[in-house]
Amino acid sequence: GAVVSQHPSWVICKSGTSVKIECRSLDFQATTMFWYRQFPKQSLMLMATSNEGSKATYEQGVEKDKFLINHASLTLSTLTVTSAHPEDSSFYICSALRSGGGEKLFFGSGTQLSVL
């Protein structure tokens, strides 16, 4: 199946610093990618839709200035958590939409962010 690579797998940072998470579609081009976050024992919550070459669309309640999304190429989207605080600690997951042959979303392996 299609592969989506997400990096890093986990990161620990100090409060106030920024953290960048990368999401790459390795064997297909993805004009659309999605970013989710997940708290322990909860379901995935959609944060934003990332479209190649245009601004991301954020879900209600998600601060666009805090969670910066860049989708500069058809195979790469990045999520930057700016000025991270402990409440931003969460599991972040990206997904890439593969069109053709039956539209499917493939997910990265996730990034566990811990803010001290």
Partner 1 sequence: DAKTTQPPSMDCAEGRAANLPCNHSTISGNEYVYWYRQIHSQGPQYIIHGLKNNETNEMASLIITEDRKSSTLILPHATLRDTAVYYCIVRAKGGGNKLTFGTGTQLKVEL
| Interface residue list for partner 1 (CB under 8 A) | 1, 4, 6, 31-32, 34, 36, 43-46, 49, 51, 91, 93, 95, 97, 99, 102-110, 112
Distance spanning both ends of the chain, measured CA to CA: 37
| Choice between 32 and 70, CB closer to partner 1 | 32
**Shortest Å distance, C-beta 104 to partner 1:** 6
DSSP string, 9-40: SEEEE-TT--EEEEEEESSS--SEEEEEEE-T
**Shortest Å distance, C-beta 45 to partner 1:** 8
Amino acid present at 95? S
| Choice between 47 and 81, CB closer to partner 1 | 47
Which residues, including other chains, have CB under 8 Å from residue 42's CB and lie 6 or more apart?
A: none
| Choice between 49 and 89, CB closer to partner 1 | 49
